[in-house]
Amino acid sequence: MLDIADELNRWVGQGRDFAVATVVAVGGSAPRQPGAALAVDSEGTAIGSVSGGCVEGAVYELCRQALEDGETVLERFGYSDEDAFAVGLTCGGIIDILVTPVRADSATRTVFAAALAAASSGEAAAIARVTSGPAELVGRALLVRASGESSQESSLESTGESSGEYEGGLGGHPELDRTAAGEARAMLDAGQTGVVEIGADGSRCGQPLSLLVESSVPPPRMIVFGAIDFASALVRIGKFLGYHVTVCDARTVFATAVRFPDADEIVVDWPHRYLERTETDGRTVLCVLTHDAKFDVPLLRHALRLPVAYVGAMGSRRTHEDRNARLRDVGVTELELARLRSPIGLDLGARTPEETALSIASEIVANRRGGSGVSLTGAHTPIHPDGARRASGRIGSVA
């Protein structure tokens, strides 16, 4: 749902009633992951997608029905030889869809509004919804915000639904709300969306529960060091992949907005000094394109000790060997060197700046998703490397 938060937030502001259908579990080669959503308002306007087209028509009708009767429904769509080309998934997958009406009289309207407003403003927040369990709890939701964010400014405060830990509630025991809030916060801290199982003991209602936790976090950072022509192409593809892109170079003549109009930020500073003072996290990718020892060595010495997602450095194999020797000389360990992707990128035979940027971006995606980087043609491995986890749509459990 939070993947279409901007438009849904506008709908809330306009007072529209709508129903939102959200993927809550997937199996096989389902095209969309948990959290993907399609919404339909009272006028029949639709936004978003849950299947890339396979079952959109059927889900659209479920949303219209939910708007009419105000009932939350969980529906499974799967593949079979008989109905594959009717409403099933011709790709052979299975998806479970939770359809929730968000009407003016909905118990969850306020917490949905708060979650959508947070996501639209770029605030880190997560919404947890019951997808299976006691019928009276299915569809109920609560919201948690990033550590340090105060919920006291929320509109939920006036309704008595805001605590210091979460906003809204699942309509059960307060301990269930606290358990769900803790799980949602853990998912938020990791920037993940998925389904969490809570056992009967943890649910405090005598039955196990499934919670869909959707996290909305600011875009991950891509920091490109070295304002060269290859960097301009990498900035463009980084933006396409959803990164907040910074270009850093110590040379004022090269690090300019004219050369990098697509960058979110341009920094003129020595790369290692900037990296020491800027914020990074486990989703940050660092691309070192300077291939100049006076810049690379102090920069990589620091970069390889940071808990970031990716560190890559451009250069020939000779440059790579010379750079590694210099890094060892300044105390970089073999374990730290093993994190360095150098020469940067996958072997695509790239020549132009655009092809090289594609090579680098492909390696970043493969590193993030666990891909091998080999051709899918003739392979017998799952298309989605994390298929074992996605087969159930579940990523964790609480006893």
Q: For residue 143, what are its two tokens?
A: 């919201």
Sequence-ordered list of residues with C-beta below 8 angstroms from that of 58, at least 6 positions apart, any chain = 77, 87
For residue 320 the two structure tokens come to 């790579």
Contact 282, 310 (CB under 8 A): no
List the structure tokens of 125: 């927040």
Bridge-partner residues for 128, per DSSP?
142, 213
pLDDT (0 to 100) of residue 90: 54
For 68, phi then psi, to 5°, come to -75, -45
196, 396 contact by CB (below 8 A): yes
Q: Could you tell me how far CA 46 lies from the centroid of its own chain?
A: 23
Q: Where are the alpha helices (DSSP H) in the chain?
A: 5-13, 56-69, 109-120, 174-190, 200-203, 229-240, 271-277, 293-303, 317-329, 334-337, 353-369, 387-390
CA distances in angstroms from 376 to 361, 371, 379, 386, listed in the order given: 18, 10, 5, 15
Q: Collect contacts of 144-152 with beta carbons under 8 A, ≥24 apart.
A: 144/181, 144/184, 144/185, 144/188, 145/118, 146/188, 147/185, 147/189, 149/123, 149/124, 149/125
Per-residue pLDDT 10s for the chain (399 aa) are 888 999 999 999 999 999 999 988 877 666 667 888 999 999 999 999 887 666 888 899 999 999 999 988 888 887 554 444 454 555 556 788 999 999 988 888 999 999 999 998 888 899 999 988 888 888 889 999 986 443 333 334 333 344 557 888 887 678 888 889 999 998 888 788 888 888 766 555 667 888 999 998 888 999 999 999 899 999 999 999 999 999 999 999 999 999 999 999 999 999 999 999 999 988 899 999 998 889 999 999 999 999 999 999 999 999 999 999 999 999 999 999 999 999 999 999 999 999 999 999 999 999 988 888 888 787 666 665 554 343 333 333 333
Q: Which domains does the chain have, with CATH numbers?
A: 1-106 (no CATH), 107-218 (no CATH), 221-369 (3.40.50.720)
In 3-state terms, the chain is what percent helix, strand and coil (to 5)?
35, 25, 45
HEC readout, 92-152: CCEEEEEEEEECCCCCCHHHHHHHHHHHHCCCCEEEEEEEECCCCCCCCEEEEECCCCCHH
